Amino acid sequence: MSDVDGTWNVALQTPMGTQNIAVTFATEGTSLTGRAQTPFGDQDFTGTVNGNAVSFSVDVTVPMPMTIGFDATVDGDALSGNASLGSFGTAPFTGTRAA
């Protein structure tokens, strides 16, 4: 089990305000799978994990179609990083491991 496996409560600081997302990660070697529960619906995703670095992308259709790319660093029960929002630039996010 990786240090990232499990459910995380993530706060993404977007131009539309803070978006709270519950993200569940599962790893197998360097492969990452998961599910993001967003205010706009649930999305499955894949990505990679390398030590404490995690990268994954979520395809959303609301409020407009785009792929959001997440790059995070895990530090114990906290994670932080930036999300690529296409033409809207990047947005910082933080997260804590759900109890």
Within a 13 Å sphere around the CA of 79, how many CA atoms are in the beta-carbon half? Answer: 33
Give residue 2's pLDDT: 59
Task: Give me the CATH number covering residue 82.
Answer: 2.40.128.120
Task: Please give the residue range of the domain that contains residue 15.
Answer: 6-97
Q: Kindly compute the dihedral angle of the four CA atoms of residues 84, 99, 26, 71, in this order, to the nearest 10 degrees.
A: 20
Give residue 70's pLDDT: 96
Q: How many domains does the chain have?
A: 1
Predicted TM-score (pTM) of the model is: 0.89
Tokens of 45: 């995703």
pLDDT digits (tens, 9 = 90+) for 33-86: 999 998 878 999 999 999 999 999 998 887 788 899 999 999 999 999 999 998
Give residue 14's pLDDT: 87
What is the separation, in whole angstroms, between the first and last Cα of the chain? 17
On whether residue 1 sits in a domain, the answer given is no
The secondary structure of residue 77, as a DSSP letter, is T
